[in-house]
C-alpha cells in the first residue's frame, strides 16, 4: 500500500507531503485545483515518462518520492532480487529526480535503478484507471489471467503452461534430430571413406615409438654387431679378457683370505664381479644372435613409418587419429540407427501433445463456467452503477490449426491451435447501449463508462487481483444522485481488499472515504502553487458541504454532509 507521497518542484507544487491510509482515500478540490497533478506525480515515481516540462518554473531539479509498505509482496520481492536489490523490511521507497535539462534518475531504496526496473515494480504496485494507457483491463493480454484468478484456476493454468513448454521442447528435439539425420545422411559416405582409409593403416597406440626404436636398430645392425662383438671379446673371449683377469684377482684374494680373514669380504665381492661379467657376456651373445641385417624387414619398417608419419601430418598424432576414429564410428552408428531415435522422439511429441490436450480440456471447461458467473455478476453491478442496459461478455475464441502448424491439440476430433496459456483467446467485450453488439473494452468511448466498467470488474475480481493500490480518476463522470451513492458504496466495498485512491467531484463518493485529501491552489509572493492536506472531521464536513452547495456553504448543506458521513459510518 502507498504510505507517503513527497513532491517537490513538480508542476505548480513547491513542496508537499501526504500520508495515505488503508482502504478508500478520496481526493477532492475545485476544478483546476490540480488534483490530477498528484496522480501524475505518483506515475512519475513509478517510472512513467517524465521530462523537464514537469519542473516548476525556475527550479533546477524536481523530486517525487513514493513510499510503499509491501508486506512481503512476492512479485515485488522477486523483481527486486532478480535485479540485485536487497529486500529489507516491509518498506519500499521509489524516488524520481528530474533536472531542468530533461534528464531523470530513478532510485530504489536509495540505490540507483534503471527506469525499466522501476516501471516493472510499478506494474505490481499500482493499477491506474482513468484516461491513461496504464489501464490494465484495457490490455487484452491480461483478460485470461484475470478470469483464471476469479475461478482460482492459477494452478491449472500453470500446469497447462508447463505442458505447453514440454511440447515445445519435444518438437524442438524432434526437429533437431531430423536436421541431424539430414546432415548425417550427407556425411555417411564421407565417414565410411575416412574410416576405410584410417582402418587400412590401422595405427596402434604406442606403435610409432616402438617402430622408431626397431628401425634404428635395423639401419645400424652391422655397426651394432661389431660394437657388441668387440665388447664381448674385451670382457670374455680375448686373450687378456676382463673375466680372466677377474678370476686371477679372485684366486689371489682367496689365498690372502686364508692367511688374513679381513679379505673374506673382498673374496665375495670378487666372485660377484666374475658372475656379473659372465652374465653380461651371455646377454651380449643373445643380443648379437638377434642382430640380423634383413633388407626386406628394413623396407617394411620404413614403409610403416611413412604411413604413420602421414597419419601424424593429417591428424596431428596417432592418438588424435584414434580418437577421431572412435568418434566417427559413433557418429556412423547413430546415422545408421537414427530411425530408432526419430521414432522415440516422435512418440515423445505424441505423449506431450496428449498431456497438453488433457489440461486444455480441463482449463476450457472451468473457464466457461467461470465466464458465465463473471458475465452475470458484472452486468448486475453495472446496472446498480447506472449502466442499466449493459451486456458484458467474456469472449473465448478458439482457432483450428492450419496443416503446417505443430502447436495444436486434438479435442472432439478437431485440431485446435495451442497458445502458451490455453487454446482460447480470451477478451472482455461490452455494450452499454440497448441493441448494440458487444465491443472490446478499449473501444468504449465514454471515460465515465470506462471507469464504472473498471470498477464493476475490479469489484468482481477484488478477491483475486493482487495489486495493492487501485487509482480511479474521472469515475464520477456523467453520474449523480442515487448512482453516485452506489458508486461510492462499490468503491468502499472494493477498499476492503485493496487500497483505493479516487479523485471525485461528488459528495456521495467523497463521503465514503476513510481518508480525505483536499487539493487547492494558493497565491504566495505573486506565484500560484498547489497545496494539499488531509482533512480532519470538521474540515471534511465543510468540504462535502461545498461539493453539495458550491462556494456558498449553507447550514442545510452542512447538515446534509453530516448525514452523509453519519449514514456511511454505520455501513
pLDDT higher at 53 or 3 = 3
Ordered DSSP codes for 196-250: HHHHHH---TTHHHHHHHHHHHHHTHHHHHHHHHHHHIIIIISTT-HHHHHHHHH
Burial profile 106-144: b = 16 or more Cβ within 10 angstroms, e = fewer: bbbbeeebebebbbbbbbbbbbbbbeeebbbbbeeebbb
Specify the pLDDT at position 397: 95
Specify the pLDDT at position 565: 87
Q: Are residues 501 and 565 in the same domain?
A: no
Q: Are residues 526 and 559 in the same domain?
A: no
Q: Are residues 317 and 235 in the same domain?
A: yes
Query: Is position 167 within any domain?
Result: no
Cell triple for residue 169? 521442447
Q: Rounded mean pLDDT of 5-25? A: 93
Percent of the chain with pLDDT over 90: 36
pLDDT tens column, 413-455? 999 999 999 999 999 999 888 888 999 887 775 666 777 777 8
Cell triple for residue 53? 516540462
Query: Is position 300 within any domain?
Result: yes
Answer yes or no: is pLDDT of 134 > 60.
no
Give the dihedral of Cα atoms 22, 23, 29, 31; nearest 10 deg: 120
Q: Are residues 527 and 560 in the same domain?
A: no
**3-state SS string for 438-460:** CEEHHHCCCHHHHHHHHHHHHHH
* Domain end (from 336, 369, 398): 336
Number of domains forming the structure of the chain: 3
The answer to which of 163-167, 255-259, 460-464, 485-489 has the lowest mean pLDDT is 460-464
DSSP, res 437:
P
Contact 335, 327 (CB under 8 A): no
pLDDT higher at 191 or 480 = 191
Answer yes or no: is pLDDT of 519 > 90.
yes
* Domain end (from 336, 369, 402): 336
Q: Rounded mean pLDDT of 398-415? A: 93
Q: Rounded mean pLDDT of 386-395? A: 89
Of 191, 418, 403, 213, nearest in space to 305 by CA: 213
CATH of residue 508: 3.40.50.300
Specify the pLDDT at position 128: 79
Specify the pLDDT at position 133: 41
CA 416, 420, 422, 427 dihedral sign is negative
Query: Is position 170 within any domain?
Result: no
Q: Are residues 77 and 110 in the same domain?
A: yes
Q: Rounded mean pLDDT of 117-131? A: 83
Contact 498, 419 (CB under 8 A): no
Query: Is position 20 within any domain?
Result: yes
Q: Are residues 109 and 25 in the same domain?
A: yes
Average pLDDT, the chain: 85
Answer yes or no: is pLDDT of 466 > 90.
no
Q: Rounded mean pLDDT of 83-94? A: 83
Q: Are residues 504 and 543 in the same domain?
A: no
Q: Are residues 528 and 539 in the same domain?
A: no
Q: Are residues 5 and 91 in the same domain?
A: yes
Query: Is position 456 within any domain?
Result: no
CA 486, 490, 496, 498 dihedral sign is negative
Query: Is position 398 within any domain?
Result: no
Give the dihedral of Cα atoms 340, 346, 349, 355; nearest 10 deg: -80
Q: Are residues 113 and 229 in the same domain?
A: no
Specify the pLDDT at position 132: 47
pLDDT tens column, 347-360? 999 999 999 999 99
Answer yes or no: is pLDDT of 571 > 50.
no
State how far the Cα of 360 lies from the Cα of 355, in Å rounded to an integer: 9
* Domain end (from 300, 315, 336): 336
Q: Are residues 3 and 59 in the same domain?
A: yes
| Number of CB atoms found within 10 A of residue 412's CB | 6
Ordered DSSP codes for 529-549: EEEEEE--HHHHHHHHHHHHH
Give strand pairing partners of 2: 68
pLDDT higher at 554 or 163 = 163
Percent of the chain with pLDDT over 70: 91
DSSP, res 419:
B
Give the dihedral of Cα atoms 422, 424, 426, 431; nearest 10 deg: -160
| Number of CB atoms found within 10 A of residue 81's CB | 11
State how far the Cα of 474 lies from the Cα of 299, in Å rounded to an integer: 103
Q: Are residues 12 and 93 in the same domain?
A: yes
Reduced to 3 states (helix: H, G, I; strand: E, B; else coil), residue 476 is coil
pLDDT tens column, 218-272? 666 666 766 877 888 888 888 888 888 888 888 888 888 888 888 888 888 989 9
Give the dihedral of Cα atoms 419, 424, 428, 429; nearest 10 deg: 130
Query: Is position 363 within any domain?
Result: no
pLDDT tens column, 289-300? 776 666 666 667
**Residue 323, domain extent:** 202-336
Query: Is position 189 within any domain?
Result: no
| Chain centre to alpha carbon of residue 489 | 41
Specify the pLDDT at position 138: 76
Amino acid at each position: 500500500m502507498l504510505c507517503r507521497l513527497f513532491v517537490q518542484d513538480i508542476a505548480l507544487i513547491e513542496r508537499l507531503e501526504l500520508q495515505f491510509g488503508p482502504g478508500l482515500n478520496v481526493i477532492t478540490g475545485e476544478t483546476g485545483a490540480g488534483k490530477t497533478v498528484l496522480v501524475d506525480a505518483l506515475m512519475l515515481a513509478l517510472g512513467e515518462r517524465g521530462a523537464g516540462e514537469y519542473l516548476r518554473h525556475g527550479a533546477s531539479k524536481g523530486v517525487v518520492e513514493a513510499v510503499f509498505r509491501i508486506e512481503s509482496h512476492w512479485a515485488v520481492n522477486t523483481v527486486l532480487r532478480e535485479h540485485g536489490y536487497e529486500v529489507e523490511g516491509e518498506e519500499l521507497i521509489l524516488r524520481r529526480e528530474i533536472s531542468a535539462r530533461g534528464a531523470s534518475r530513478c532510485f530504489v531504496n536509495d540505490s540507483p535503478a534503471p527506469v525499466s526496473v522501476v516501471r516493472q515494480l510499478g506494474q505490481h504496485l499500482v493499477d491506474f484507471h482513468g484516461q491513461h494507457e496504464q489501464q490494465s483491463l484495457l490490455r487484452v493480454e491480461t483478460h485470461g489471467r484475470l478470469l483464471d484468478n476469479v475461478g482460482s484456476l492459477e494452478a491449472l493454468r500453470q500446469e497447462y503452461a508447463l505442458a505447453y513448454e514440454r511440447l515445445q521442447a519435444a518438437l524442438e528435439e524432434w526437429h533437431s534430430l531430423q536436421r541431424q539425420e539430414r546432415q548425417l545422411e550427407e556425411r555417411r559416405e564421407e565417414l565410411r571413406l575416412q574410416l576405410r582409409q584410417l582402418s587400412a593403416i590401422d595405427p596402434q597406440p604406442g606403435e610409432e615409438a616402438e617402430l622408431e626404436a626397431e628401425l634404428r636398430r635395423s639401419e645400424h645392425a652391422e655397426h651394432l654387431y661389431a660394437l657388441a662383438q668387440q665388447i664381448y671379446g674385451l670382457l670374455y673371449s680375448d686373450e687378456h679378457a676382463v673375466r680372466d683377469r677377474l678370476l686371477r684377482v679372485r684366486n689371489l684374494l682367496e689365498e690372502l683370505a686364508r692367511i688374513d680373514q679381513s679379505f673374506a669380504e673382498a673374496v665375495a665381492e670378487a666372485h660377484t664381479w666374475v658372475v656379473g661379467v659372465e652374465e653380461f657376456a651371455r646377454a651380449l651373445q643373445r643380443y648379437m644372435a638377434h642382430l640380423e641385417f634383413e633388407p626386406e624387414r628394413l623396407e617394411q619398417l620404413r614403409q610403416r613409418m611413412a604411413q604413420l608419419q602421414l597419419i601424424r601430418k593429417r591428424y596431428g598424432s596417432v592418438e588424435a587419429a584414434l580418437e577421431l576414429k572412435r568418434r566417427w564410428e559413433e557418429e556412423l552408428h547413430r546415422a545408421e540407427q537414427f530411425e530408432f531415435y526419430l521414432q522415440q522422439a516422435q512418440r515423445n511429441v505424441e505423449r506431450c501433445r496428449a498431456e497438453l490436450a488433457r489440461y486444455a480440456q480441463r482449463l476450457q471447461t472451468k473457464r466457461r463456467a467461470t465466464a458465465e458467473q463473471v458475465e452475470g455478476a458484472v452486468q448486475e453491478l453495472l446496472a446498480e452503477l447506472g449502466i442499466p442496459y449493459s451486456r458484458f461478455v467474456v469472449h473465448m475464441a478458439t482457432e483450428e490449426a492450419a496443416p503446417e502448424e505443430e502447436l495444436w491439440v486434438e479435442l472432439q476430433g478437431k485440431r485446435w491451435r495451442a497458445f502458451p496459456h490455453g487454446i482460447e483467446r480470451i477478451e472482455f467485450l461490452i455494450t452499454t447501449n440497448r441493441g448494440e453488439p458487444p465491443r472490446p473494452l478499449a473501444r468504449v468511448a465514454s471515460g465515465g463508462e470506462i471507469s464504472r466498467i473498471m470498477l464493476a470488474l475490479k469489484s468482481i475480481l477484488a478477491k483475486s487481483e493482487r495489486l495493492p493500490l487501485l487509482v480511479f480518476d474521472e469515475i464520477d463522470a456523467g453520474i449523480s444522485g442515487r448512482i453516485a451513492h452506489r458508486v461510492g458504496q462499490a468503491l468502499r466495498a472494493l477498499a476492503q481488499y485493496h487500497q483505493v485512491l479516487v479523485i471525485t467531484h461528488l459528495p456521495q463518493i467523497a463521503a465514503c472515504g476513510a481518508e480525505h485529501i483536499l487539493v487547492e491552489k494558493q497565491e504566495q509572493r505573486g506565484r500560484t502553487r498547489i497545496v494539499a492536506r488531509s482533512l480532519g472531521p470538521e474540515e471534511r464536513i465543510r468540504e462535502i458541504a461545498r461539493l453539495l452547495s458550491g462556494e456558498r456553504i449553507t447550514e442545510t448543506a452542512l447538515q446534509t454532509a453530516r448525514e452523509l458521513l453519519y449514514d456511511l459510518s454505520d455501513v
